[in-house]
């Protein structure tokens, strides 16, 4: 255990005992904190050479990036936590080359946003704002990575949007599981954790146990679903996708090894299978 994590566990352990309310509030703020990483050269290239525009919301504008055929079938890309739209640039370019109209955007609190914190509600609202702005006349496809999988399925379940293909490149299935893992990591006490659940209930308007990717998928009008996950993923364990595959009838799970969690976005096999699936080809 590194020193920073040890200090974190010590702080939340003691604060949970002395003042569980305070521990809950601080842990919720920590849970929403985005670690803004330096924009890499290949991501900068994506931002510089795509057609970019903004979608205005009640908070900060959402930075959007477009490439491909302006009249092609629409594919929306949704990046993961601590990442940015440019992280999915190789997938974006591959889809654009196949004739698709590709739209990617930075989630709230990420990349160029002034704020450095966000949550599922804000990201869901940003996703829906982008879709409303685009006003698609035909079914769309969605390719999402990691936290973006939770965002996109949560958003699509809240509004009637016709969807053709959905590709989830890893996903956190049950949100309650993520909270429990977070509780364990920071050493949050049981009383403080119950208060954290109350804060999340007030924010989300529904208990965490009701929110999962598999349940949201059942509410979405889509044609087919592809899951791709590294069996040894160290960020989001493989069981999240396995659970969904077992629950959803029209799901297809591709299990790979040694492609990593973040590196998978630059993996040629992942890119090829994703692009092929979106274009209606069978993938194995």
Per-residue H/E/C for 220-255: CCEEEEEEEEECCCCCCCCHHHHHHHHHCCCEEEEE
| Cα(127)–Cα(148) distance, integer angstroms | 10
**pLDDT confidence of residue 58:** 80
The answer to whether residues 145 and 83 touch, using CB atoms and an 8 Å cutoff, is yes
Q: Please report where in the chains the tokens 């698609």 appear, as a residue.
A: 136
Backbone angles phi, psi at 281, to 5 degrees: -90, 155
Distance of CA 44 to the CA centre of its chain: 21
Residue 282: pLDDT band with limits 50, 70, 90: confident
> Given CA atoms 255, 259, 264, 268 in this order, what sign does their dihedral have?
negative
Question: At 164, is the secondary structure helix, strand, or coil?
Answer: strand
| Cα(233)–Cα(174) distance, integer angstroms | 17
Question: At 66, is the secondary structure helix, strand, or coil?
Answer: strand
Q: How distant, in Å, are the alpha carbons of 16, 100, 182 from that of 231?
A: 35, 30, 21
| Cα(35)–Cα(33) distance, integer angstroms | 7
Is the pLDDT assigned to residue 196 strictly greater than 80? yes
Q: Please report where in the chains the tokens 């510089």 appear, as a residue.
A: 48
Distance of CA 68 to the CA centre of its chain: 23
Q: Please report where in the chains the tokens 């955007």 appear, as a residue.
A: 105
- pTM here is 0.94
DSSP 67-89: EE-TTSPEEEEE--TT--GGGGH
| Cα(255)–Cα(93) distance, integer angstroms | 24
Residue 59: pLDDT band with limits 50, 70, 90: confident
Which CATH number is associated with domain 46-174+212-278?
3.40.50.1820
**What single DSSP character describes residue 144?**
E
**pLDDT confidence of residue 1:** 60
Q: Which two tokens stand for residue 223?
A: 């044609």
Q: 70-106, pLDDT tens digit by residue?
A: 999 999 999 999 999 999 999 999 999 999 999 999 9
Distance of CA 141 to the CA centre of its chain: 15
Q: 104-162, pLDDT tens digit by residue?
A: 999 999 998 888 999 999 999 999 999 999 999 999 999 999 999 999 999 999 999 99
């Amino acid at each position: 255990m590194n020193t920073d994590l040890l200090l974190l566990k010590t702080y939340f352990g003691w604060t949970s005992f002395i003042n569980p309310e305070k521990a809950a509030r601080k842990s919720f703020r920590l849970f929403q904190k985005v670690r803004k990483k330096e924009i890499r050269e290949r991501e900068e290239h994506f931002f510089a050479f795509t057609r970019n525009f903004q979608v205005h919301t009640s908070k900060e504008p959402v930075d959007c990036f477009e490439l491909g055929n302006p009249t092609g079938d629409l594919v929306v890309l949704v990046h993961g936590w601590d990442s940015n739209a440019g992280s999915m640039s190789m997938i974006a370019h591959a889809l654009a080359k196949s004739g698709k109209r590709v739209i990617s955007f930075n989630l709230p609190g990420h990349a160029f946003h002034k704020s450095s914190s966000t949550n599922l509600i804000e990201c869901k609202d940003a996703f829906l704002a982008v879709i409303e702005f685009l006003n698609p006349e035909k079914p769309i496809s969605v390719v999402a990575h990691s936290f973006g999988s939770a965002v996109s399925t949560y958003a699509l379940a809240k509004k009637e949007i016709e969807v053709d293909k959905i590709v989830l490149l890893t996903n956190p299935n049950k949100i309650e599981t993520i909270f429990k893992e977070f509780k364990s990591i920071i050493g949050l006490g049981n009383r403080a954790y119950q208060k954290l659940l109350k804060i999340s209930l007030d924010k989300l308007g529904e208990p965490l146990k009701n929110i999962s990717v598999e349940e949201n998928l059942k509410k979405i009008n889509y044609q087919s679903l592809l899951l791709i996950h590294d069996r040894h993923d160290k960020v989001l364990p493989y069981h999240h996708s396995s659970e969904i595959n077992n629950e959803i009838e029209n799901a297809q799970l591709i299990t790979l090894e040694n492609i990593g969690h973040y590196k998978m976005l630059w993996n040629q096999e992942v890119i090829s299978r994703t692009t092929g699936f979106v274009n209606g080809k069978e993938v194995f």
